[in-house]
Amino acid sequence: MTAIALTIAGSDSGGAAGIQADLKTFAALGVYGASAITALTAQNTLGVEALYPVPADFVRKQIEAVARDLDVRAIKIGMLATGAIIEAVAEGLKSCPGVPVVLDPVMVAASGDVLLDDEAIETLRTVLIPCASLLTPNLPEAAKLLGEGQAGTEREMSAQAQALKQLGPGAVLVKGGHGEGENSVDILLDEEGTLRLEASRVNTRNTHGTGCTLSSAVAAELAKGATLRDAVIAAKAYVTAAIVAADDLHIGKGRGPVHHFHALWPRMPKR
């Protein structure tokens, strides 16, 4: 049986994040990817130049069309753009009962461009987060969702994970990539308790799409039948390796992508 995962997210015309990063990740991890596009962006490694949300009803129809035909085993949700789209996605998820949902609450692009306004963030909190099996905010997103300052210590990250879990998701993964220090630490809070995930921080500017890649890697592992905790551990290892290999790629003039196919493509000579 072929493992199938569905990504519900925006399109990145530069290919580093969003739907493009999700489908690359699914493919790299041996999973067939389907998609429902929530927004079109005109962007590249330097930033987002324009954003065009897809009509909310059409987003829902994409999800329902996939669900009627494909045996979707996991769903990843990324950029949603508007409150109406958030509500449409929540409605569309009803066509996939029992399927695990990984929600990456994308609010700001790596370039700093705002992708979700305050009103839509409240809709995200109340309508969609309770539907998630796993919520995967980075440090700024966790702070924004809670209306607090950004966590600066692991204790504060754990406290914010606890507070976010009160919003209704099955589990929370607070990602520490925006922190400081030699190591990047993520905190997973699930039904088993708290798990600390650590990796050496990589000195590269090519991290565009890291959050999209991590959440879609978790979804891919879930689609293959992994437990949530094992899926998160495997996804962390995959993303870390993709960041380590990012400088093998020479894409664009700004923040380039991570190397989704690091395990499949031959190593490229340094430039």
Given the residues 211, 236, 240, 256, the one annotated as active site: 211
Q: What is the spatial distance between Cα 104 and Cα 9, in angstroms, rounded to a whole number? A: 10
Given the residues 210, 213, 236, 256, the one annotated as active site: 210
- Which residues, 6 or more positions from 111, have their beta carbon under 8 angstroms from its beta carbon? 43, 46, 47, 48, 254, 255
Q: Is 175 a catalytic residue?
A: yes
Given the residues 92, 209, 236, 240, the one annotated as active site: 209
Q: Is 47 a catalytic residue?
A: no
Given the residues 76, 144, 175, 236, the one annotated as active site: 175
Strand order in the sheet with 172-174: 47-53, 32-44, 4-12, 74-77, 101-103, 134-135, 172-174, 183-190, 193-200
User: Under DSSP, is residue 111 helix (H, G, I), strand (E, B) or coil?
Assistant: coil
Q: What is the spatial distance between Cα 230 and Cα 225, in angstroms, rounded to a whole number? A: 10
The alpha carbon dihedral of 223, 228, 232, 234 has a sign of negative
Q: Is 211 a catalytic residue?
A: yes
Given the residues 212, 213, 236, 240, the one annotated as active site: 212
Q: Is 212 a catalytic residue?
A: yes
Q: Is 14 a catalytic residue?
A: no
The alpha carbon dihedral of 189, 190, 193, 199 has a sign of negative
Q: Is 209 a catalytic residue?
A: yes
Given the residues 7, 207, 213, 240, the one annotated as active site: 207
Closest CA to 210 of 180, 189, 179, 235: 235
What are the structure tokens assigned to 271, written together?
């430039």
The residues annotated with a catalytic role in the active site are: 175, 207, 209-212
